[in-house]
Amino acid sequence: MVAIHPTALVEPGAELAEGVSIGAYTIVGPDVRVGRDTSVGSHTILEGWTEIGADCRIGPHAIIGAPPQDVKYRGEPTQVVIGDRTLVREFATIHRASTGGSGVTSVGPDCFIMAYAHVAHDCQLAERVIMANQASLAGHVEIGRHAVIGGMSGVHQFVRIGEYAFLGACSGVLQDIPPYVKAQGNRAKPFGLNVVGLRRHGFSVEAIHALKQAYRILFISGLNTSQALAQLEQELSGSPEVQRFVDFVKRSQRGISK
C-alpha cells in the first residue's frame, strides 16, 4: 500500500513502490522513482530524473533532483540516484548531474545527509558516508566509504576524500584528503590518522600500525610525495590498506592536502 497525504502532488508517471509514504504538501515529479518502504516528509520536492532506493527516510523541506547549479546546463535528462537505507534530513539539497561528468549524482547506500547539507551535481558518495549539518560539496566531488564530513565544511569541486577519512567541522578543502586520515582547518590540513574510526570499524592492530607508518612517511618525514610513495611501496607493500592509501595519492589530480 502507498500512503499519499491528500495535500501532496504526485505527478502522472512517478513510480512509487509498495510501502512508500508521501507527506503533506510534498511534490513528486513525473520522472521520479521511489523504492519500497521509503518515507518522504512534508513540503519536500522530488524532481527531475531521480531514483531513491528502498527503506530511505527523506526529511521535510528537502529538495532532491533539482537542476545543477551549472550555467552550461540546458535541461538534459541527467540523474540523481540514492541507495537503500539512506537518510536525508530537513532542508538538505541534492542536485542532479550536469552534462560534464558521468550524468549521475550518486549517494548511498546507508548514507546520512544531515540538515541543510548540500550535495552538488556529479558528486559520487560511496556507502555509509556521513555529512554533518550545513556541510557542502561542490560539483564532481568524490567521497569514499565510511568517510565523515564535519558540519559547516566546504569541499572544492573535483576534490576527493578517501575512505574512512574524517574531516573536522568548519573546514575548507581545496585538495584531496587521503584515506584513513583526519584533516581540519581552512585550508584543511591533515593532523593524524583516524585511529578511533579505524578501531570502531574493526581494523586490526597490524593494519593500524602500518597506516601510522605510512602517515609518518608521507606527511612528517620531509620527503616529497614521489619519494614518500617510493618508500611506502618498498617498505609496506604487504599491507592492503597501505596500498589503497598509495593508490589514492597516485591518482590525485589536484594534489593532496599537506
Q: Which residues are catalytic?
A: 121-122, 139
Name which of 46, 6, 7, 52 is nearest 30 in CA terms.
46
Name which of 131, 236, 219, 122 is nearest 177 in CA terms.
219
The 3 state secondary structure assigned to 162-212 is CCCCEECCCCEECCEECCCEEEEEECEEEEEECHHHHHHCCCCHHHHHHHH
Name which of 248, 49, 218 is nearest 210 in CA terms.
218
Instruction: State how far the Cα of 27 lies from the Cα of 21, in Å rounded to an integer.
Output: 12
Tally of residues, the chain: 258
Phi-psi map region of 209: left, alpha, beta (phi>0 left; psi -120 to 50 alpha): alpha
Instruction: State how far the Cα of 183 lies from the Cα of 161, in Å rounded to an integer.
Output: 10
Cα dihedral 100→103→109→114 (10° resolution): 50
Instruction: State how far the Cα of 127 lies from the Cα of 103, in Å rounded to an integer.
Output: 19
- Yes or no: say if 46 and 28 are a contact pair by the CB < 8 Å rule: yes
Hey, CA dihedral for 228, 229, 233, 234, is it positive or negative? negative
